[in-house]
Chain A
Amino acid sequence: MSARPKLHAGNVVVRLGGALIVDGAALDLRAGELTVLIGPNGAGKTTLMRALAGLVPAEGRIEIEGKPLSSLTVRDRARCIAYLPQGHVFHWPMPVAAVVALGRYAYGDAFSTVTDADRRAVAKALAATDTEGFANRAVTTLSGGERARVALARALACEAPILLADEPTVSLDPRHQLVVMGLLANAAHGGSAVLAIGHDLALAARFADRIVIMDRGRLVADGAPREVLTAERIAAVFGVEAFIADDASGPHPVLLRPI
């Protein structure tokens, strides 16, 4: 915890169309840590993440490895932050390998050719996500779980020190939820600072090194899963009565009924 955070955010405020969406968020993302951001719908999680990724104008302080985010060029920012948006959108039926290679966009320009480093990064990302088997298939022909892995492979191929993933497990079957969260944890334990948005509290508790809870634009809790995921807080933030089972592996929240 002593090293300088990869990403430091202080008093971040975002207004969209006059509405206050993010209200003074402060957050540090450190290398080696998987942080999961949870909160009810409309809490401002996606907007906060987009602000951290430099995709929406924000007031306050956002620093990448000590440098203000706004001082980075678009290309430098892209090399520092890999961002995986919600929904795993692919507009053209491009081959999987070509989609994953887009992760290397910030390393080339209109006149450059593919380098060995690019090839290595793409091969590594395909292998890590177990998507090599359909590298030549059109991405639009894949199942939801396969598409989620390809989208993650694209983000991993950036080889950025910071990875931001917006609901990477949404609409996936239980096995793929575990696979994708495992991949994010691997990326974090491999040295990246990873922030993922999620809705499944049990999944967050199972994989996160740290959980941050957002409610109505404010970050209301930030800490280890066991400290943060209490029945009282789940009731206050989510309006849900919960039973927290706890064993050596950590807390296991079981959601019972809406309050």
Chain B
Amino acid sequence: MTRAEPNDLRLNLTLAVLIVVLAVVSLMVGPAALSPREALAGLFGGDGAAAIVVRDIRLPRTLLAILIGGTFGFAGAALQGLLRNPLAEPALFGAPQAASVGASFVIAYGLAGATSFAVPIAGILGALVSIGGLVAIAGRRASLSVTLLAGLALASLAGAATALILNLAPTPYAALEIAFWLLGSLEDRSMDHLWIAAPFFVASWVLLALNVRAFRALTLGEDAAASLGVDVGRTRLMVVIGVALGVGAAVAVAGSIGFIGLVAPHLVRRSVGSDPARVCLPAALMGAVLLTAADIAVRLVPANPNATAIEIKLGVVTAIIGVPFFLAMIFRERRLLDGASS
């Protein structure tokens, strides 16, 4: 039992401190810059302009960034553990895209404004349908390539469905609202958004956390894991539902935000090793760090004030940072594969 627990603890504490520091910075940054003292004073009391800005505008987006980033990091680590593949992430299997379809539909047909309860519900239903479909198509004993192909097909189908909804949007305004919503943002989110999404995040974390041990057993393959006492079918179902709930709620509240789920587990794997159970907590913390930092970045990068969008969109930033990382990882895997065959 040589487990480098002190290493894990140190990393988790470091990431937790980093989250607190970034949260304070996030409360300070915006059109009206505040000092740390002003931000904290506004957070904990007073009813001046600073207090209103901090509590009503910056606190919700900061908390959402932490929760959504954490959920993406955890969901990514969980899917990588379940599928025993370091390239797995929620978006590869269509859940966020399907959540976008549900949310876009609700916005397009005026069933709800982008702030309503109906948007997250529709998003979650979309994600559940897609991941349920993935499991049904790929089956219990599917190879990775079958699972990936099925996920790719579902993601493409969901992308096409979103395009169709945009295409048939009843008004140009609805199309624009969907288009910007799809880019992902935490701008102008309120505490109501937080309360709508939080139960789904918590449910997601509980479902995933109950299966963290099983990810470790699955490193021996599904047969061996089953012989060790893992109910593989139940584990898969719980993880699929957990990911769909968390990612669906995240996409429903914040629009599509990519690559956190892929990148976060990889950043921590160097420190805690490849044990798929030990990766989960630091991956969640790392996800929160990344998204909070990205949400600070969108407020610092100057955007064209005459454009429709005042800020660079959050999903744009995470993808612009995430895609090169993804490519680099594929490149490294390819070289590893080449090395193995030579």
Indicate whether A91 reaches chain B with its CB closer than 8 angstroms.
yes
Indicate whether B229 reaches chain A with its CB closer than 8 angstroms.
yes
Contact B1 A119 (CB under 8 A): yes
Indicate whether B3 reaches chain A with its CB closer than 8 angstroms.
yes
**Binary interface encoding of chain A residues 83-112 relative to chain B, with 1 for a CB under 8 A from any of its CBs, else 0:** 111010111111101110111011011100
Contact B223 A55 (CB under 8 A): yes
Indicate whether B176 reaches chain A with its CB closer than 8 angstroms.
no
Q: What is the CB-to-nearest-CB distance from B30 to chain A, in angstroms, rounded to a whole number?
A: 41
In the complex, chain B residues whose CB is within 8 Å of the CB of A122: 1
Indicate whether A78 reaches chain B with its CB closer than 8 angstroms.
yes
Residue in contact with B228 in the complex, picked from A78, A89, A94, A118, CB distance below 8 Å = A78
Contact B219 A94 (CB under 8 A): yes
A interface bracket (residues with beta carbon within 8 Å of B): 35 or more
Contact A85 B221 (CB under 8 A): yes
How many Å lie between the Cα of A92 and that of B2 in the bound state?
Answer: 16
Known contacts A92-B84, A92-B274, A94-B274; A78/B229 CB under 8 A: yes
Beta-carbon contacts under 8 Å, A35-62 to B: 50, 53-55
Contact B224 A89 (CB under 8 A): yes
Contact B220 A99 (CB under 8 A): yes
Secondary structure class of chain A's binding surface, majority of residues: mixed
Indicate whether B183 reaches chain A with its CB closer than 8 angstroms.
no
Known contacts A92-B274, A98-B3; A105/B223 CB under 8 A: no
Contact A105 B230 (CB under 8 A): yes
List the one stretch of B109-117, B153-161, B205-213, B248-256 in contact with chain A: B205-213
B interface bracket (residues with beta carbon within 8 Å of A): 20 to 34
Contact B276 A92 (CB under 8 A): yes
Q: Which residue of B lies closest to A78 (CB)?
A: B229
In the complex, chain A residues whose CB is within 8 Å of the CB of B218: 91
Q: What is the CB-to-nearest-CB distance from A85 to chain B, in angstroms, rounded to a whole number?
A: 5
Q: What is the CB-to-nearest-CB distance from A164 to chain B, in angstroms, rounded to a whole number?
A: 8
Contact B213 A105 (CB under 8 A): yes
Q: What is the CB-to-nearest-CB distance from A161 to chain B, in angstroms, rounded to a whole number?
A: 14
In the complex, chain B residues whose CB is within 8 Å of the CB of A94: 216, 219, 273-275
Contact B219 A90 (CB under 8 A): yes
In the complex, chain A residues whose CB is within 8 Å of the CB of B209: 110
Known contacts A91-B84, A94-B273; A101/B1 CB under 8 A: yes
Indicate whether B231 reaches chain A with its CB closer than 8 angstroms.
yes
Known contacts A50-B223, A118-B1; A105/B217 CB under 8 A: yes
Indicate whether B226 reaches chain A with its CB closer than 8 angstroms.
yes
Interface centre among B212, B217, B228, B231 (most CB of A within 10 A): B228
In the complex, chain B residues whose CB is within 8 Å of the CB of A77: 229
In the complex, the number of residue pairs spanning A and B with C-beta atoms less than 8 Å apart equals 94
Indicate whether A205 reaches chain B with its CB closer than 8 angstroms.
no
Contact A74 B231 (CB under 8 A): yes
In the complex, chain A residues whose CB is within 8 Å of the CB of B216: 94, 98, 102, 105
In the complex, chain B residues whose CB is within 8 Å of the CB of A102: 216-217, 219-220, 228
Q: Which residue of A lies closest to B228 (CB)?
A: A105
Contact B220 A154 (CB under 8 A): yes
**Binary interface encoding of chain B residues 188-221 relative to chain A, with 1 for a CB under 8 A from any of its CBs, else 0:** 0000000000000000000001101100111111
Q: What is the CB-to-nearest-CB distance from B275 to chain A, in angstroms, rounded to a whole number?
A: 5
Residue in contact with A55 in the complex, picked from B1, B85, B210, B227, CB distance below 8 Å = B227
Q: What is the CB-to-nearest-CB distance from B212 to chain A, in angstroms, rounded to a whole number?
A: 7
Residue in contact with A97 in the complex, picked from B1, B210, B221, CB distance below 8 Å = B1
How many Å lie between the Cα of A105 and that of B213 in the bound state?
Answer: 8
Indicate whether A183 reaches chain B with its CB closer than 8 angstroms.
no
Q: Which residue of A lies closest to B276 (CB)?
A: A92
Q: Which residue of A lies closest to B218 (CB)?
A: A91
How many Å lie between the Cα of A103 and that of B217 in the bound state?
Answer: 9
Indicate whether A181 reaches chain B with its CB closer than 8 angstroms.
no
In the complex, chain A residues whose CB is within 8 Å of the CB of B3: 97-98
Residue in contact with B2 in the complex, picked from A103, A108, A136, A158, CB distance below 8 Å = A136
Q: Which residue of A lies closest to B279 (CB)?
A: A92
Known contacts A91-B218, A110-B213; A135/B2 CB under 8 A: yes
The 20 sampled A-B contact pairs (Cβ below 8 Å) are: A53-B227, A74-B226, A74-B231, A75-B229, A78-B227, A89-B221, A89-B224, A90-B219, A91-B219, A92-B84, A92-B274, A92-B275, A94-B275, A98-B216, A98-B275, A105-B213, A105-B230, A110-B210, A136-B2, A138-B274
Query: Which 10 pairs from chain A and chain B are nearest by CB?
Result: A78-B229, A83-B227, A91-B84, A106-B229, A105-B228, A92-B274, A89-B221, A75-B229, A92-B219, A85-B223
Q: Tell me the A residues contacting B by CB distance below 8 Å.
A: 50, 53-55, 74-75, 77-79, 81-85, 87, 89-95, 97-99, 101-103, 105-106, 108-110, 114, 118-119, 122, 135-136, 138, 154, 158
18 further A-B contacts with Cβ under 8 Å, apart from A87-B221, A97-B1, are A54-B227, A55-B223, A74-B226, A78-B228, A84-B224, A89-B221, A89-B224, A94-B216, A98-B2, A98-B275, A99-B219, A102-B216, A102-B220, A105-B216, A105-B217, A136-B2, A138-B274, A154-B220
